[in-house]
Amino acid sequence: MSEGAKIRCLLAMLGTDVHSKGIRTLAQILRDEGVEVIYLGEHNTAEGVVNAIITEDADVVGLSYSTATYLHYTGELMRKMRAENISEVPVMLGGLIHPEDEPELRALGVRGIFGPGATTRQILVFLAEATGKALPGLGGQ
């Protein structure tokens, strides 16, 4: 793992989902763990997230869903990321993700899926492994 540069994690909600408590909590936890968080908040479009990934030079993208619209919106985002040649940026999802949808999400290119019960450590390990950047709180994992 490379030392020094912080992980730049862009967090957003796509579509009309407005249950933002989970993603706001995650944003604070990640900041406390040394992650540089770019928080876009609610009501984003796939195009807006793609523009932010490019503009902010994000290392990883985290999306939060509390409704079953995640297949549609995540698919749209992944297509736009491929069109902009940024599909190498890892995408993780969190929230109310149905286990039976995980294979389809992985086929879309989603690298991390964190449903109810996921731990902070699991997310931090994913961020470190997906970006190749160390996190002080993991102590070498």
Would you kindly state where each structural domain of the chain is located, as residue ranges?
A: 8-138
pLDDT single digits (tens) 79-89? 999 999 999 99
pLDDT single digits (tens) 122-133? 999 999 999 999
For residues 32 and 30, what is the distance between their CA atoms, to the nearest angstrom?
5
Token match 């549609």: residue? 72
Check whether 141 has a pLDDT greater than 50.
Answer: no
| Cα 131 → chain centroid | 12
Closest Cα partner for 64 from 108, 25, 102, 103? 25
Predicted local confidence at residue 15, as pLDDT: 85
99, with CB counted inside 10 A (0-12, 13-18, 19+), is exposed
- 8-138 folds as Rossmann fold (3.40.50)
Average pLDDT over residues 35-41: 94
For residues 29 and 13, what is the distance between their CA atoms, to the nearest angstrom?
17
Predicted local confidence at residue 4, as pLDDT: 64
For residues 59 and 88, what is the distance between their CA atoms, to the nearest angstrom?
9
For residues 117 and 71, what is the distance between their CA atoms, to the nearest angstrom?
20
